[in-house]
Structure 1
Amino acid sequence: MEELLTQIFGYLRGMWRFRWWGLAFTWLVGVIGGFIVYAMPDRYESTARIFVDTQSVLRPLMSGLAVQPNIDQQVAILSRTLITRPNVEKLITMADLDLRARTPQQREALIAGLTNGLQIRSTGRDNLFTLAYRDDHPEQAQRTVQALVSLFVESGLVGKQQDSSSARRFIDEQITNYEQKLAEAENRLKDFRLRNMALLGDGGRDYVSQIAEATTRLTDAELELKEAENSRNSIEHQLTAENPMLTPDSPNPASVPLPEIDGRIDTLKKTLDGLLLRYTNEHPDVVGTRRVIAELEAQKKKDIESMRGTAGSQPGVPNANPVFQQLKIALSEAEARAASLRARVAELNSRLAHLRSQAELLPKIEVEQTQLNRDYEIHKRNYESLVQRRESASMSVEMSAQGGITEFRVIDPPSLPTLPAAPNRLLLMPLAGLVALLAGGALTFLLAKLRPAFVDARGLREVTGLPVLGAVSMLPDPSGARAERRGLLAFGGGVASFAAAVGAMTLLLKWLQG
């Protein structure tokens, strides 16, 4: 620490030797700096404030129906990307700045100056932005900020429209592609179903359902065939027991069976039993039912007598038994029905055998059908989703055009500055004085290094590396002390006058700025 202090004191003593040079250089740099600060051109700043309202009433109402992008993020990105070369060139035309640029070099310099000078400052919340620009002329600064405000609003609206148009165009292209894919998938599915209609069946029934249905129909047909054969056998048994010709001991007409009339009579008798459980014998329904039964029995008797008369009136033909004739007719009908059912059973057996013979093709067909259905469902789902998104995008465009999701409000219009915003001479003038002082100190340090001197024996010993036997001190006389004091006063006065000059210039500039 002691060595460091000794070294610092050594530097200061060396610099003290050239203090007048440093003071003169300080005055020179200070005068030049003051002149530069005073001669700096005034810069006028025009500002405007814009509020971007993104809290539209339509946003919560249209939630889930229309596409709602992150408006706050879009506005923030717009504020950071607005100052680009195309926008700056457009702004030059809007603000009539191109009159100041007559050559390509001047135009490039103007574009670079605007790019660096235009400012869009955000408060960080509430979407409040401040647009500012500085120019040598206040009217020009105001026109430039006005053009920047217009460009800011137009870029926000045009950007949203371009994004919506691009999104709709892309969605329309995708819908067209998926329409073709969906049509191709439908055609493949149609061709597959036509090729395998026998196994797939109609109505969407699968192979197992067809087998089960064919088996059920075969079982029902076999049961009906068995019933028909039993009925036929019963008629044959009755026919063998009946005498083809009438004999004196033939049954009375009432006992001769007529299937049609007997069935109606049996039905009416059952109905009559039900009516008697609820009504009396004098009830109109009971009386009417009994009358109809009596009419049917009379009709039966009349028919049997007619058949007997017809059989007996034929010459050379003995009286034929009508019951036998009826049984023969019933036997013929039973034989025909049994033959029809046998044909049906044979056909169902053939179909069932054909279905069972194609059982080995079933897994392959089912896999192919599953793949076709899956491709078709995927294309259909994507197509419907794209159509829904297109409608949502169209609704968003309409909502943005009519209701306005984002609204740009100019809170403070571009101002016409009356006082310069730069340079800050009240700050630059003291700063120039400080720089002049530092420059004077640097000059004395440089001269002390260029023309070094030894102020003590230790420094001499360190530089030469030789032992120093002693040092002779100088005794000051009264005249020398007075001269030294006058020098100190003069130097202090020079430094104080320099500080006073800097202060006076600062006060003068403040007075001039009003």
Structure 2
Amino acid sequence: MIFQILRALLREIILHKTLIAIGFAIVSFAVLAAGFFWPKQYEVKGVLYADEQNIIKPLLQSQAAVTSVDRAQAARDLLQTRRMAEIIAKRSGLVGPDDSPAILERTARLLQATLGVEGFSPSGSAVTYVRISYTNPSKDTAFKVVSAAVDAFIRETSESKQRESRNAYQFISSQVKTYKQQLANAEDRLKVFNADNRDGNEQTVATSISMLQSEIQKLKLDIDDARIRKASTESQLSRESQYLTKRFSTDVYRDKLREAQSKLDSMLLTYTPTHPDVVNLKHQIEDFRQAMEESETSRRDDRSSAGNINPLYEQLRKTLSTVTLELESKQKRLTATQQLLDQEYDRSRRIAGRKAEQADLTRDYDVTKKMYESLLESKERARISMTLDVEGQGVTYRIQEAPLYPSVPKGLRFLHFALAGPFLGLLVPIGALVAYIQLDPRIRYQSVLEGLSVPVLAVVPHMNTPFAKRMLRSDMILLSLFMTGAMIVYAIICFGRWSGWFG
């Protein structure tokens, strides 16, 4: 079947050789003409490198933060803004100083839609390169637009980083001033609280209360002892007479001493030597012995016993007066100590009541101080970061590949049309013949009849006479000359185009 189609195609080519030659010339020159009028698009690219590896970074890595941004997204967001589009349009000459705002707006919108920005990394790591591209029919326009975009982006990026660092520093500085004032206020409140509350702390109050309680217990024991001594003295004083009548005082003291000693021996069997009654009785024995000694010294001045004063009575009366004075003094001291204890209890309650307020003031002071110190560190880091951005020591963009003036248009060029012209000149007529053969309803092949169950008696081949062969030969020569001449003209036109003859 394929061989039959090829034979039929060859026969049709021979029959329509003139049309094929004319079609070849027409299609070739038509494609060449399309190449003349095909719009040219010139693309200019510029590559920027985000340089953040400098000598400052390892030295201040933990002290200052260099302002960082997403390379491609930052470049895209920046260059596609209305303000940047207007700057690029003015600097590249797309818009003149006398053009209307409408033209400026239309040109800026067109730049926003056509200016290409993409980020990439040759090593596949973080994006460190930014490519800016622009396509335009004019070489000069494309070059000027990309050059203006690269310059504007580098300048605006540097200014934006400096502005961001400066704003961060100013904000943190204002916060430092605010917290400094808050810290001063908190410190003043704490000072006023401590000045108004001089009750001390809980430990001091607890120590004072413990001492006062011990003193009160001791005073109570002393008062009980004084009361016992007073009662005993009063009892002895009630049994004594103020004047001596029958016996000498020495005998009386001796008898009383004997009785007291006997009583002491009996009491020691029941009580300890430190018992108040035992102690009191010992004092009385000592008093009796002293009285006996005084009585012996005054015995030579003996007088009538009916008019002498009893010395034991006088001694007991003095002892009673002393014990009574001591008892009253200790009772007053107990009352004063109890009042001090009550005052300490009141002070303890005041301290407990103000403890929460003091804790709140102290906590506010500590938190404010901590925040203030943290903000001071942040302020210093922000200052260093701002200095780095101002000095260009942070993330900076440098031109990796400068925009080059385009010499070759992008996409299909005249060379492509010149090469495709002859090829399409042959392909289109032959393709038309193939379509003609496939669509022609006439029966050309024996297999078609056999497929229709029509018996085929014989196949008569085409016969070429000598005259027909001479005519075919002469026609082929003429058509060859025609096509050769057409190709010569075609080549001259192409050469003239490349040489600039046709502008």
Secondary structure of the equivalent of 1:249? helix
Task: State whether structure 2 residue 49 is matched by structure 1 residue 58.
Answer: no
Aligned to 2:218: 227
Q: Which amino acid aligns with 1:455?
A: R
Question: Do 2:72 and 2:117's aligned partners in 1 also have CA atoms closer than 8 Å?
Answer: no
**Distance (Å, rounded) in 1 between the aligned partners of 2:77 and 2:346:** 80
Aligned positions of 1:38-53 closer than 5 A: 38=36, 50-53=48-51
Write the letter of the residue equivalent to 2:332: A
Cα 1:449–1:495 shift into 2, 3 Å: farther
Q: What amino acid sits opposite 1:92 in the alignment? A: A
Please identify the structure whose Cα radius of gyration is greater.
2
**Which deviates the most, 386-395 or 237-246?**
237-246
Query: Aligned partners of 2:346, 2:170: CA distance in 1, in Å?
Result: 59
> For 1:136-190, what per-residue CA distance to the aligned partner results, in whole angstroms no more than 9, with x for missing partners?
665555543432222121231233245446767887999999999x99xx9xx99
Quick one: percent identity of the two aligned structures? 18
SS of the residue corresponding to residue 19 of structure 2 reads helix
Matched, 1:337 2:333: yes
Q: How does 1:34-433 map to 2 (within 5 A)?
A: 34-38=32-36, 50-71=48-69, 73=70, 75-84=71-80, 86=82, 87-99=84-96, 114=111, 118=115, 124-125=121-122, 127=128, 140-161=141-162, 163-164=164-165, 220-232=211-223, 236=229, 241=284, 243=287, 247=291, 249=293, 332-344=328-340, 392-410=381-399, 419-421=407-409, 424-433=413-422
Aligned-partner residue type, residue 293 of structure 2: D
In the TM superposition, residue 473 of structure 1 has moved relative to its aligned partner by 1.0
Residue aligning to 1:296: none
The structural deviation recorded for 1:450 is 5.3
CA drift of 1:66 comes to 2.8
Aligned-partner Cα distance in 2 for 1:48–1:331? 110
User: How many Å separate the matches in 1 of 2:418 and 2:130?
Assistant: 33
Give the secondary structure class of the aligned counterpart of 1:157.
helix
Contact 2:42 2:139 in 1 (8 A): yes
Looking at structure 2, the residues matched to 154 and 121 of structure 1 have their Cα atoms a distance apart, in angstroms, of 19
Query: Conserved in 2, the CA contact under 8 Å of 1:153 and 1:408?
Result: yes
Distance 2:441 2:429 in 1: 18
Q: Assess, with a 3 A threshold, how the Cα gap between structure 1 residues 488 and 80 changes in structure 2: closer, same or farther.
A: farther
Q: Mean alpha-carbon deviation: is it higher for 45-54 or for 488-497?
A: 488-497
Give the Cα separation in 2 of the matches to 1:93 and 1:115.
14
Q: 1:378 to 1:221 in 2, by over 3 A?
A: closer
- C-alpha separation between the residues in 2 aligned to 1:30 and 1:407? 54
Contact 1:133–1:145 (CA<8 Å) still a contact in 2?
yes
Is the CA contact 1:22–1:443 (under 8 Å) kept in the aligned structure 2?
no
Structure 2 residue identity aligned to 1:94: R
Query: Do the aligned residues in 2 keep the contact of 1:98 with 1:107 (CA within 8 Å)?
Result: yes
CA displacement 1:433-453 (0-9 Å, x = unmatched): 333333333433444455454
| Cα distance between partner residues in 2 of 1:47 and 1:174 | 45
Normalising by structure 2, we get a TM-score of 0.58
- The 8 Å contact of residues 44 and 146 in structure 2, kept in 1 or not, is answered as yes
TM-score with structure 1 setting the length: 0.57
Q: Secondary structure at the match of 2:90?
A: helix
Cα RMSD for the two superposed structures: 5.9
Compute the displacement of 1:226 (Å): 2.3
Does 1:29 pair with 2:27? Answer: yes
CA distance in 1, matches of 2:320, 2:201: 53
CA distance in 1, matches of 2:147, 2:378: 39
Q: Residue in 1 aligned with 2:232?
A: none
In the aligned structure 2, how far is the partner of 1:169 from the partner of 1:92? 34
Q: Is the 8 A contact 2:51 2:396 kept in 1?
A: yes
Cα deviation, 1:344-363, whole Å, max 9, x if unaligned, reads 566778999x99xx9xx9xx
Q: Which moved more, 1:48-57 or 1:499-508?
A: 499-508
Q: Do 1:21 and 1:444's aligned partners in 2 also have CA atoms closer than 8 Å?
A: no
Q: How far did residue 27 of structure 1 move?
A: 1.3
Task: Answer whether contact 1:50 1:412 (CA < 8 A) is retained.
Answer: yes
Q: How does 1:430-509 map to 2 (within 5 A)?
A: 430-449=419-438, 451-460=440-449, 465=452, 467-479=454-466, 480-484=468-472
Q: Which residue of 1 aligns with 2:240?
A: none
Q: 1:120 to 1:348 in 2, by over 3 A?
A: closer
Query: What secondary structure is seen at the aligned counterpart in 1 of 2:460?
Result: coil
Indicate how the Cα distance of structure 1 residues 116 and 505 shifts in structure 2: closer, same or farther if over 3 A, else same.
Answer: farther
